[in-house]
Amino acid sequence: MTNKKVGFIGVGSMGGAILKALLRAKVILPENAWATNRSPGKLTKISDEFPIHVARTNEELVENVDVVFVCVKPQDLLDVLEPLSTLIPASSVVISIAAGIGIKEIKKILHNSPQVVRVMPNTPVEIGKAVVGYAVGNDATVAESVVIELLKPLGLLVPVTEGDMLEGLTVSCASGTGFVFELMLYWQEWIEGYGFEPETAKKMAVQTFLGAALQAENSIGQSLENLQARVVSKKGITTAGLE
């Protein structure tokens, strides 16, 4: 992948996090990375940290890269792609992170029929602990190998089909970090109610979730039910709490 030229249209919260993670992992070399962004601030921050190419336009970007990440909001995706419809060659791979817009819709706009992949990451891409779902088109066998090689430093890669599987992954993982943070907030507030300072309560909540997650990750062959059963004793505090 280090020989591939990779471009990012949009380096906001998710696009910027993916680009920086791939640069830090040296999957993409700075001299092979291109980026554009609607507003210059975030682009400047990344280019100050890494000597990437800052393209003046999206058109300039797609003419210089092999892989195009389109990291814009779903409502902007089709408008961004329309001016590029004849400029992206068939040999390119187009990766969209926009929720709700299918591969067929994207391919209708792109006249040269490049291979298209939909990718759904969650925010722990920043630390290489993400869940990254990806769905490929029927003609995208080359694209799948590119995506696997490119995105494996980001965390757990999960192949999915469009429809129920991708929607399930979006809710459980892409949105799921927000749900987990809500639980952690509840934990922290509950602990604070017993007299702990907020920062201490936060550390206690985070460590409880982190410890449980790492224990589950390292307990190969054990179900979550089995791990839970090790904590639960008859007529104990945990049993009472669960009830």
What's the mean pLDDT in 208-227?
A: 94
Distance CA 206, CA 99 (A): 29
Q: What is the pLDDT of residue 140?
A: 65
Give the strand order in the sheet containing 130-136: 53-54, 33-36, 6-9, 67-70, 93-96, 115-120, 130-136, 155-159
How does pLDDT run across 65-76, given as a tens digit for each residue?
A: 999 999 999 999
Q: What is the pLDDT of residue 112?
A: 85
What pTM was computed for the model?
A: 0.89
Q: How far is CA 72 from the centre of its chain?
A: 13
pLDDT tier for residue 1 given thresholds of 50, 70 and 90: low
How does pLDDT run across 171-217, given as a tens digit for each residue?
A: 999 999 999 999 999 999 999 999 999 999 999 999 999 999 999 99
Q: What is the pLDDT of residue 40?
A: 87
- Which whole-number Å values give the CA distances from 108 to 58, 78, 102, 242, in the listed order? 19, 10, 10, 51
How does pLDDT run across 81-125, given as a tens digit for each residue?
A: 999 999 999 999 999 999 999 999 999 999 988 899 999 999 999
Q: Six-digit token pair at 28?
A: 């993409």
Task: Please say if the pLDDT value at position 9 is more than 70.
Answer: yes
Q: What is the pLDDT of residue 2?
A: 63
Task: Please say if the pLDDT value at position 170 is more than 70.
Answer: yes
Task: Please say if the pLDDT value at position 16 is more than 90.
Answer: yes
Q: Which residues contact 163 (CB under 8 A, 6 or more apart)?
A: none
Q: Six-digit token pair at 90?
A: 């068939």
How does pLDDT run across 33-60, given as a tens digit for each residue?
A: 999 999 888 899 999 999 999 999 999 9
